[in-house]
Structure 1
């Protein structure tokens, strides 16, 4: 008889229901969040093009250290540009020995030519008529002055674009973004070309650092070139395994067109090579090359990231199992709360 004097039954019931709904919403939201994260990670692992490209990469990139004191093992091969001072030439005799290793299909020189000054605009032409000066600025991830590279590719690489082998000249989306933001109706224009100054490497000369370590200094010559482009042939920069140029404007040009452009009667000086391997033999080839000479360093995205990929997949499987257990516990707790409340209501109805 005294209870109603101390407890307002309606307020008590309302408060209890509010608390129950809050608990239900929190537990349900946490469960949905865990399950969504689990599903998203699973989809990411199975559909991300970068992961699949890393796992399917069968090519090796080869350089030769100038001397054993240079440490390349903890670095990515793509960190070494044509202007890198720490790597040496590889002679034709050495390349022939590597070519004779079982499983090696071909050895291709890596050629990249860079725009002379990233601050200077480049010229856009249509039908050989000047259109506009283009500032080398892109806003794909963040806005700042970008370099522009000519990257040479070979038919032996079989680079696929929409299921077909890439042929002719392509540009990446970074370079397209530069032009699109500064030129009206760019997508409807044809017979376009770009004029720019590039840094052509003539040769390398050896020198000694203050620490008494050898280095190779490039002898550079600036050259004005004009490159025809097609704004309908665009590659996504993030889909290119060569991480050096993912944030820069890039023109992908076939080797025969580059040789005609270079037209110097000699091979372009290169110190980096791409080795096309038979699938599944890249690890054996890498070991055999590096056993030939401790100055050789062969890199492969799949091999160098294999342990990381395995760890990531194992870690994800553990997270999936843990997420499933937590989600089941939360769902069970939710049902138990609802069941307990229903039982209390039944007793009150009886009373």
Structure 2
């Protein structure tokens, strides 16, 4: 019974260690899944930060390039005014006709005055008046036409891109040339990274790995507990399976079995158990004392080792001892032909 109790305690400890190992494996799997998911989240946040930084630098470069192009567009849009030559004045057609008439009158007056001196004084006044009109017409300046006002140029602020159009905006921003900043340093925008996968797809891999790991641990636990339960159920009958559970192999010694109890057939059962354990079956009979409480293993001279093997197979905790004369007389009525090497007296402890 003591040996059976030790086997039961050993099996219980094995079950506890198995459960502890399974719990530790599950904890490690959960921790690994959390660490992997946290790493992926950090990587996603890092990529988002770099993308927004690239967009900011690209927008700054585009705004600076547009501001530099505004003065050039204003200069190109301003109309050019041709310079006015000194002494020349643009006049209307009516003024041109008046000047021609006045000039003809002056010429006619000069001809008449040269032919008739008496008339020179009379025509002198009209000639002077005509010259004055001609000079006035030719010297009156025309006011310069003021230049057309330049229309105001409105600089439209860049609209913030939506998350859905992130990829399109990034592809347009890459082509903008870089411009010098206030300090004179230039910085080209980095190429935006590829669009990040959706969160559902990103979180799918850790879930699949955790599921596979948990299923594997569950199968291992079922197999382990199944083996332990079968071995435990097999050890419930100590009279038939104690030898198999201990793994003891018989030495081939001849064992005589004496029934020290009033239970009929008990000695035959023990003899069969010893035969299955690797020992040879010797005489099976009834002991002189029918009230033996504990099973006793005795040996003939020179077979102490065989007796230890028999006691271990049967689970007997009482120390083995040499067979006395009374036991030898029952096991071997004829001492000359006695073949028994170990004598087992079955006690009441085998009936439980």
What interval of TM-score do these two structures reach, taking the shorter chain for normalisation? Answer: under 0.3
Greater relative CO, 1 or 2 (CA 8 Å, sep 6+): 1
Which structure has the highest helix share of the two? 2
Higher strand share: 1
Between Structure 1 and Structure 2, whose CA radius of gyration is higher? Answer: 2
The two structures have a TM-score, normalised by structure 2, of 0.23
